[in-house]
């Protein structure tokens, strides 16, 4: 029995999709109207925090990581510096996986902000650690 997918195909691929609130940023990139900064909220209260960012007049688009699978999304962050706002809940490992995905999808830099501290991640630091 074949898996659902293209007719005649033995294998299927899972298409990555945009994260919640990511459509606006993807449209901006389509027309080369790239923002300098973007925000991704995760953990407890992430939906409310993203809505606050979206409604603020600061030209800083926000997206949400609603669950444990950052690899399942296409992150429209080319050439942006991305701040990850971490609420209560996500593990450090999940945040690092998200940061790797952001760099893979073209982010210029990633800043992680938690209740305790802020950490700046670089491509080199993630490659070495």
**Domain residue spans of the chain:** 16-32+44-68
- Write out pLDDT tens, residues 59-109: 778 889 887 689 999 999 999 999 999 888 888 899 999 999 999 999 999
Q: What are the two backbone dihedrals, phi and then psi, of residue 39, each rounded to the nearest 5 degrees?
A: -125, 140
Given a cut of 50, is residue 5 above it in pLDDT?
A: no
47: Cβ contacts below 8 Å, ≥ 6 apart:
20, 41, 64, 66
Q: What is the mean pLDDT of residues 22-51?
A: 87
Q: At which residue do the structure tokens 């209260």 appear?
A: 45
């Amino acid at each position: 029995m074949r898996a659902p997918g293209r007719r005649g195909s033995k294998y299927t691929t899972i298409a990555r999709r945009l994260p919640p609130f990511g459509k606006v940023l993807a449209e901006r990139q389509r027309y080369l109207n790239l923002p300098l900064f973007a925000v991704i909220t995760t953990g407890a209260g992430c939906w409310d925090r993203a809505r606050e960012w979206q409604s603020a007049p600061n030209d800083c688009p926000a997206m949400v990581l609603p669950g444990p699978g950052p690899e399942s999304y296409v992150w429209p962050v080319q050439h942006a510096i991305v701040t990850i706002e971490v609420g209560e809940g996500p593990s450090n490992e999940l945040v690092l996986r998200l940061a790797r995905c952001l760099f893979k999808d073209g982010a210029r830099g990633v800043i992680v902000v938690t209740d305790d501290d802020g950490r700046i991640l670089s491509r080199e630091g993630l490659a070495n650690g």
